[in-house]
Amino acid sequence: MTLFERIAAREVPAEIVYEDDEVFAFRDINPQAPVHVLIVPKRVIARINDAAAPDAPLLGRLLLTGQKLAAELGISETGYRLVLNNGRDAGESIPHLHLHLLGGRPLHWPPG
């Protein structure tokens, strides 16, 4: 099981801020912004390179969950970033696709 599957199963503690039948979201333990939430599908897709056309509804749900949480967490008006890492050079550390929701401060460009 991936770390995220263990969090979803409540085997590993996390501050879960959202959950439905397909996705859940929790605060990152090493936040890079005042708001840093990970949005994770319950069905494991290792990374975006492994996604296929049938995964499109789930991928869209991740984005719309990010939009919903940005509003609920008070950052939708000032701005936020949704980040999806793919591969070691991008900073991927857990082989379970997830979306980072970052906000609550000015986010500079380019990142990293």
Q: What does the domain layout of the chain look like in residue ranges?
A: 3-103
Do the bridges between strand 35-41 and strand 16-19 make them parallel or antiparallel, or are there none, so unpaired?
A: unpaired
Active site residue 100: no
End-to-end Cα, the chain, rounded Å: 29
Residue of 54, 52, 53, 40 lying closest to 94 (CA atoms): 40
The Cα 47–Cα 9 span in angstroms is: 20
Joined together, the tokens standing for residue 42 give 């319950």
pLDDT band for 111, please (50, 70, 90 cuts): confident
pLDDT digits (tens, 9 = 90+) for 68-107: 999 999 999 999 999 999 999 998 999 999 999 999 999 9
Residue tagged 């929790």 (tokens): 26
- The angle at the Cα of 14, spanning 57 to 26, to the nearest 5 degrees, equals 35
pLDDT digits (tens, 9 = 90+) for 97-108: 999 999 999 999
Residue 100 makes CB contacts below 8 A (sequence gap 6+) with 28, 32, 36, 37, 38, 39, 81, 82, 83, 84, 85
Joined together, the tokens standing for residue 91 give 């900073």
pLDDT of residue 46: 96
- Work out the mean pLDDT of the chain and round it to a whole number: 96
Q: Domain 3-103 classified CATH 3.20.20.80?
A: no
On the question of pLDDT at 52 being above 90, the answer is yes
pLDDT band for 6, please (50, 70, 90 cuts): very high
Percent of the chain with pLDDT over 90: 95
Active-site residue among 36, 96, 98, 100?
98
Residue 95 host element (H or E): none
Instruction: Look up the pTM and report it.
Output: 0.95
